[in-house]
Chains A and B, each alone.
Chain A
Amino acid sequence: MDDTSTNTPLLSVRDLCVHFPFSRGSMLRPEHGVIRAVDGLSFQIAQGETLALVGESGCGKSTTARAIINLVHPTSGSVRLRGVEIAGLSDREMMPHRRVVQMVFQDPFASLNPRMTVGSIIGEPLAVHRLASGKDRKLEVLRLMDLVGLNPRFLNRYPHEFSGGQRQRIGIARALAVQPELILCDEPVSALDVSIQAQIVNLLMDLQQKLGLSYLFIAHDLSVVRHIATRVGVMYLGRLAEIGDAASVYAHPTHPYTEALLSAVPVPDPVLAATRQRIRLEGEVPTPDRQYVGCSFVDRCPIAVEKCRHDRPPHEPVAAGEPGHTAACWERT
């Protein structure tokens, strides 16, 4: 199984579960439960590919990314990097793999140490992984700054002196320092202004071209995802509702949730907006501790049948879609 031939996907996630036990209520009558933040997720990422994960707030996107690099330990399931199992490794065992997978966070304001200069922020991974020191390290930092479009004059400045977009460039340069193959981007442009978002999206795509990077790209903006993703996974309450090539999923949304999600994206074109059909979902996103035996979308699904309450729908190929496009719905596949 552990062959590293070119057929082995860069990342392979199988049946990943991350459950958080919780208790609430009074001391006298405590209630115990479990939040199934990620509940049986499987997907792969090939080299050079961008898989986007989309879905409502709280559906488990960030937890998935954090579980992949062991910032939270998976409850069960497997995470293989180039065929090597990394789920549940200790921090020390994880070290060499951190050179392969890096993460870029949503909030460029919170994720950079305010007391470190830009140079030391970007150079830190080089020191930690003993990749370069002294003059070499400085040269490498300057090369990285140039790569992400930061002026080398900023080397000795502090994060608070930068705008959101520039801080995101610093975060990207830091992630690139160890020459990773896969970058997990957790909403990397959500906190940025529209006019700056395009700069960062272009940068990420340029870097992918130049360096052959792969991305797991977490986002809630489906227009950005349409632009950047080669494949898309739609999550709902810890599970994948649908996954496939971006073009195929956008052209043939099959799970009722995907369909509603895509139909609700506002388009910046009043003429087009007037001709689109929208599927209105009733009801609220359930609380995350709600447990479902069958399909987790059943409370909001406009086409649910009795079976959906009792049996969990498996992923099946979408007939109209490209190969590899699957959805989990009793009524649609």
Chain B
Amino acid sequence: MPESLSQPDAAPSRHGEPLLQVNDLQVSFKTDDSRVRAVRGVSFDIYPGETVGLVGESGSGKSVTNLALMGLVPSPPGRVDGGSVMYDGKDLLKLSPLQMQSIRGRRIAMIFQDPMTALNPLMTVGQQLTEMTRLHLGLSRRQANEKAAEMLELVGISGASRRLRDYPHQFSGGMRQRVMIAMALSCEPDLLIADEPTTALDVTIQAQILDLLRELQERRGTSIILITHDLGVVAETCHRVLVMYAGKVVEKSDAGPLFASPQHPYTQGLLQSLPRFDQVQTTLRAIPGQPPDLGNLPEGCSFRSRCPLAIDRCAREEPPLASVGDRREAACWVAEENANG
């Protein structure tokens, strides 16, 4: 039935305490011939009840940033080189693996792009759902079963108590993604990190899943980090947006202003290169060239070889994130100068 598209409500007020504060996060990976600096000084805050979109090219450091928050950077070859992740008065990067385990799944949960890699094919969906709540919430077997059925119902899987006995392969792609969401939400986390949760799904199923996340957020005030390469999905679900390029956040803004007047030349290029569903263009304005090799970054701004606005300074000095408006920041010499005169 036609319904007005549920939009993210006006951004929840960002007053009060942030739920999570990431400060100058640095992560690198050792490769045969170099050290790849995958995340190069990323900082951002997440407030209660908000959805923050993380966009950027593949390899720009989105997933690694979030793996670091969860204490899941594979090591070796990976290494967190610096920074802090403050949550509940503690720096998550300093917790022991055991302490981190009690936060992961319980307070901060993650859903992955490919549900099959995260679900155990040899365990029933019920076993996997109850394992979490028994471990983290100390529920009895019966309570855990009831909770599991309730969660499946919540994510829109009918005949829930029967389906608990099914194995993951007996579900379709969209349903598996919902099972993942049910698992992630069963301990009522404060923060949900969703890494490309709908990329593998079709648009009609994607719409169902995004609606579901929005409803759950409204009901429980969960904060969400949504990693996606789909700017349409960002426009329809996120309050705030972080744009990443070559391991850095290059633009930070509320969603509305970002789409209305992007400040960083990369964000501008991205939005201009999109074919529009609602209008016909003759040629797309593609961004020329390719993203740089993280193991061998050029001096100065990492976007320079593709940037139409580059000036001399860009070749020498790497621009820091700087204020370019109300609650807006961009890492670009030209944008900063335009904003601040």
Contacts and interface: CB of A to CB of B under 8 A. Distances in A.
Given A57-B202, A194-B229, A268 B284 contact: no
Contacts of A165: 290
B203 A264 contact: yes
* Interface of chain A, main secondary structure: helix
Q: Interface size for chain A: under 10, 10 to 19, 20 to 34, or 35 or more residues?
A: 35 or more
A264 B2 CA distance: 11
Contact of A195 (B4, B173, B286): B286
Contact of B1 (A224, A228, A270, A279): A279
A202 interface: yes
B270 to A, nearest CB: 6
Contacts of A227: 275-276, 280-281, 284
Contact of A267 (B57, B202, B277): B277
A328 interface: no
A285 B211 CA distance: 18
For A199, A224, A247, A267, which residue has the most chain B Cβ atoms within 10 angstroms? A267
Q: Interface size for chain B: under 10, 10 to 19, 20 to 34, or 35 or more residues?
A: 35 or more
A193 B229 contact: yes
A193 B274 contact: no
Interface stretch (B108-116, B124-132, B230-238): B230-238
For A166, A223, A284, A285, which residue has the most chain B Cβ atoms within 10 angstroms? A284
B143 interface: no
Interface string A268-295: 1111111011111100110100000000
Contact of B235 (A196, A260, A269): A269
Contact of B203 (A247, A265, A284): A265
Interface in B165-187: 172-175
B236 A226 contact: no
Interface in A231-278: 247, 260-274, 276-278
Given A220-B202, A287-B172, A268 B286 contact: no
Contact of B278 (A193, A267, A274, A279): A267
B269 A270 contact: no
Nearest to A265: B277
For A166, A205, A247, A265, which residue has the most chain B Cβ atoms within 10 angstroms? A265
Given A199-B286, A264-B207, A284-B175, A226 B202 contact: no
Given A193-B58, A268-B232, A277-B2, A285 B205 contact: yes
A76 interface: no
